[in-house]
Amino acid sequence: MKGRKLLMIPGPIEFEPEVLQAMGQATTSHIAPKFIEVFGNSLELMREVWQSPSGQPFIVAGTGTLAMDMAAANLIEHGDNALVISSGYFGHRFKDILDRYGANTTILEAPIGEVVSLDAIENELRSKPYKVLTLTHVDTSTGILIDPKPIADLAKKYHVLSILDGVCSVAGEELKQDEWGIDVVLTASQKAIGVPPGLALLMASQKAMGVFKNRKTPVGNYYADWNNWLPIMQAYEERRPSYFGTPAVNLIVALETSLKIICTEGMDKRIQRHQNLAKAFRAGIAALKLRILPKTTHLAAHTLSAVYYPKGIDGAALRAKITEKNVILAGGLLAGIKSSYFRIGHMGSVSSNDLMAVLHALECALLALGHPIASGKSLQAFQNELLNTVPLNPVTN
């Protein structure tokens, strides 16, 4: 036995051994020449993953919420109008953050399992001058996937800055920041980027940086202020030592390792791998007579799945049975329905073997609790679906 359980929650995820080995190296000075090279290279590799050759990357010790906070703190001034397009828990969090900096925030929200229509977004943008709009690419609470491109097009049409919460999407869902004209894309290290928790990662367009530099009032958050961090990022990219706050040295060494793995796989292949595995996993879920939270598969993320418990099955008992099979899944998060569903992460270095282990554990747990399904059907559906797709990357299969 391997002596530990398979972690299949929507972050932290299972990490590549090379990433964990890199993180376990002896801690060096943050101004050592070797670390300066690692930090500078990480910033450059971020542009490749975000597909933003013109963007300004930031790597700061913190969480995804800090990355959200940085975007709001640096781009919002008191009285600015902000529009939040919400598809779950984290849309409401963005509203709370924007409100804290004095924004007049409007939130647009669709019924559970759906997305806000483009017509509704455009009607709201027409109603008054907005400075920023935020959208969640994949909401970790619901597994809802939004297509950012048409919303970014609307933002450009109405001269509004677009901020994409990509915490559960960057390096797992299709993203072309520069081509789509998205002004800020943020994420955290512990999701599809594939590094243990502790880094807030953000890419800002030159347009966003221009708005920041022309703000009339000081940034209301000392730690998040780009005036403090921008010289640091520029110095490391120029391979010069600099200091504002001590960086998370070991995490950044691990970040460079993971970004190299991601770029070696190639963004197109990586996104296709996530899509193939997610489609096959949903086929396995359907074979278990389970229903996903998104109303259609078109709205279902490729980095995680949110699945309703079957009628008559106690959710806590189901997850306990799954844990007995050495697989850890996550419960629900969205207020009002959190006890009605559970979540499975499938991002980063996830493989078909990982997902087959999840389906096996889930099927065994359901059978033990009396759910009427035929044994083996979910694995058969999963494998049949994979056989009908493009071959997966052999390194991660």
- Could you tell me the CATH number of the domain that includes residue 356? 3.90.1150.10
Tens-place pLDDT, residues 341-387: 999 999 999 999 999 999 999 999 999 999 999 999 999 999 999 99
Q: Which of 12, 20, 17 is nearest to 253 (CA)?
A: 20
pTM for the whole thing? 0.96
What's the pLDDT at 357? 97
371 and 339 assigned to the same domain: yes
Would you state the pLDDT for residue 4?
Answer: 85
Predicted confidence at residue 391, as pLDDT, reads: 56
**Is residue 396 in a domain?**
no
- Which amino acid makes up residue 245? G
Per-residue pLDDT for 393 more than 80?
Answer: no
Spatial distance between the Cα atoms of 274 and 215, rounded to a whole number of angstroms: 40
Predicted confidence (pLDDT) at residue 245 exceeds the cutoff of 50: yes
What type of residue sits at position 117? S
Q: Is the same domain home to 113 and 252? A: yes
CATH number for the domain that contains residue 210: 3.40.640.10
Is the predicted pLDDT of residue 21 greater than 90, yes or no? yes
d(CA 233, CA 122): 36
SS in 3 state form for 103-164?
CEEEEEECCCCCCCCHHHHHHHHHHCCCCEEEEECEECCCCEECCHHHHHHHHHHCCCEEEE
User: Is the per-residue pLDDT at 105 higher than 80?
Assistant: yes
Q: Given a cut of 70, is residue 1 above it in pLDDT?
A: no
Are 347 and 172 in contact, with CB atoms under 8 Å apart?
Answer: yes
Residue ranges making up the domain that contains 90: 17-265
Residue 291 has pLDDT above 80, yes or no: yes
Is residue 165 assigned to a domain? yes
Q: How many domains does the chain have?
A: 2
**Hey, what are 286's tokens?**
């359907």
Two tokens, residue 338: 């959190």
Give 2's pLDDT tier (boundaries 50, 70, 90): low
Residues 6+ positions from 369 with CB-CB distance below 8 Å: 313, 314, 317, 318, 321
Mean pLDDT value across residues 252-266 = 98
Task: Report helix, strand or coil for 307.
Answer: strand
Residues 174 and 69 in one domain: yes
184-188 and 304-308 strand pairing: unpaired
Please indicate, yes or no, if residue 28 is contained in any of the structural domains.
yes
- The residue with tokens 């391979």 is 239
Report, as an integer, the average pLDDT of 263-271: 98
Q: Does residue 270 lie in a domain region?
A: yes
User: Could you tell me if 87 and 191 lie in one domain?
Assistant: yes
pLDDT mean across residues, the chain: 96
Residue type, 104: N
Asked whether the predicted pLDDT for residue 313 surpasses 70, the reply is yes
> Average pLDDT of 309-330?
97
Say if residue 114 is in the same domain as residue 208.
yes
Do 170 and 303 form a contact (C-beta atoms < 8 A)? no
* Backbone φ, ψ for residue 117 (5° rounding): -75, 155
* Residue 97, pLDDT above cutoff 90: yes
Are residues 276 and 134 part of one domain? no
Q: Residue 178 in contact with residue 55, Cβ under 8 Å?
A: yes
Is residue 7 one of the residues assigned to a domain?
no
Q: End of a domain among 219, 236, 265? A: 265
Q: What is the percentage of the chain residues whose pLDDT exceeds 70?
A: 97
For 153-192, the pLDDT digits (tens) are 999 999 999 999 999 999 999 999 999 999 999 999 999 9
For residue 366, being part of any structural domain is answered with yes
Query: 111 pLDDT band (50/70/90 cuts)?
Result: very high
Average pLDDT over residues 138-146: 98
Identify whether residues 276 and 317 lie together within a single domain.
yes
Given 265, 280, 310, the domain boundary residue is 265
Is 329 found in the same domain as 250? no
Same domain, 109 and 54: yes
Question: Residue 397 above 60 pLDDT?
Answer: no
Residues of the chain above pLDDT 90, percent: 96
Question: Same domain, yes or no, for 274 and 177?
Answer: no
Last residue of a domain, one of 265, 296, 330: 265
Q: Answer yes or no: is pLDDT of 317 > 90.
A: yes
Residues 90, 171: one domain? yes
Q: Are residues 160 and 124 in the same domain?
A: yes
| Residue 242 domain flag | yes
Residue 393 domain-assigned (yes or no): no
